[in-house]
Amino acid sequence: MTVDGWQQGVYDVIKERRIELIGYVPDAGHASLIDNARRDPDIRDVLLTSEEEGIPLCAGAWLGGMRSVLLMQSSGVGNCVNMLSLQRIARIPLVLIVTMRGEYAEFNPWQVPMSSITERVLQLCDFQTYRVDHAEAAGETVAAAIDMAYASNVANAVIFSQQLLGRKKWVE
Amino acid sequence: MGRVNAGAEPTAELERRTVVGNLLAGREGLAVITGLGSPTYDVAAVGDHERNFYLWGAMGGAVATGLGLALARPDLDVLVVTGDGEMLMGMGSLATVAAKAPENLAILVLDNGVYGETGMQPSHTSLGSDLCAIAKGCGIRNSWRVSTQDELEDIRDRFQRRGTVRFLLVRVATEQPERVMPTRDAVENKLRFRMAVDANR
């Protein structure tokens, strides 16, 4: 399956589940989802300066009754930690889709310190986490995360592995 | 010794609670998000309300919370009330707000130039930073800074009128009024707020 193929599948799942706001800090692994969100007149696409803004952004949307997802790279998870107290103390449904760096054919060693603890950090912050290594599982896993978060007012994170995303092209 | 109130009035005459009471008078359907610390107590002191959501933590998150609500609910008027310290920690969110520019969002920063909760240490706004200039620089064109009652009266209608995103910095005195503490149970606060704005529709 091509990257665009499975990412389109993820976007379709997001739409089917009545997500109307997508916050993001750009990442190459999320490029297709971000393009879709920006083109979609029914989605509020919110570009963030730092991932941590996404946590209160989604909480505010939920106070008004709107469902959302947040897109970020593994390094961004570390930026969110204290802000996640809002999600946990208020039991706000929250869905993160995290693209991994620093674990497969990684060129930049600076990606490793955060990526090596990303999933454990999420679990310490009371997230249910799901790791996706195969394109076929991406859409269904995102669906499962959205369903659980909004059924139970909890935090779920889907982690797209670097192998799934493929080697980063440093020269176009 | 650091500069205190540099670039600002040596003494601010406005009392924070009077300012908040003034701007919340006749609030009707207004939804209010408060930043942790004194702004939470100020809004509670004016009167608890089912359309208040009080932050007691998540420092730096008040404006982004207001943004999410404003984008989700264009039918609501949303006011964020926060302080200089909380705003300094979430400055990036001013750029995020400017990029979306929701017409139903207003941001009020009560700037006393100190961290009132932790022992009145000077904040960056006492050391040369101007949050109004930062809001403007982020792209919020309707950003104002006032330090007297007359200036506040002059700008009040424009600040409260929807049509564009708005930012108002009010220089307030450092005096700390008595703490009026609203609920710290965020689940209870969330459920009450969501019911009040009919979020389950």
CA distance A72 to A157: 11
Q: Does A116 touch chain B (CB under 8 A)?
A: no
Average pLDDT, integer, range B86-96: 98
Average pLDDT, integer, range A5-16: 94
**Does the beta-carbon distance from A86 to B53 stay under 8 Å?**
no
Span B124-166, pLDDT tens digits: 999 999 999 999 999 999 999 999 999 999 999 999 999 999 9
Closest chain A residue to B33, measured at CA: A60
The alpha-carbon gap from B196 to the nearest alpha carbon of chain A, in Å, equals 10
Q: Does A167 touch chain B (CB under 8 A)?
A: no
> H-helix or E-strand containing A142?
helix A138-152
The alpha-carbon gap from B72 to the nearest alpha carbon of chain A, in Å, equals 5
Q: What is the pLDDT of residue A5?
A: 81
Average pLDDT, integer, range A129-156: 97
Is this prediction's pTM over 0.90? yes
Average pLDDT, integer, range A30-58: 97
Bigger pLDDT: A141 vs B8: A141
In chain A, what residues touch B90 (CB-CB under 8 Å)?
A: 53
Share of chain B above pLDDT 90, in %: 91
In chain B, what residues touch A62 (CB-CB under 8 Å)?
A: 68, 72, 194, 199
Q: What is the pLDDT of residue A104?
A: 87
Query: Which residues contact residue B129 at a Cβ distance below 8 angstroms, ignoring those fewer than 6 apart?
Result: B88
Which of A31-35, A64-68, B2-6 shows the lowest mean pLDDT across its residues? B2-6
Helix (H) and strand (E) counts for chain A? 9, 6
- The helix/strand/coil state of B166 is strand
Q: Within a 13 Å sphere around the CA of B179, how many CA atoms are in the beta-carbon half?
A: 8
Q: Does A26 touch chain B (CB under 8 A)?
A: no
Average pLDDT, integer, range A131-160: 97
Q: For testing the chain A interface, which of B103, B107, B134, B190 should be mutated: the one with the most A CBs within 10 Å?
A: B190
Burial status of residue A8 (CB atoms within 10 A of its CB: 0-12, 13-18, 19 or more): middle
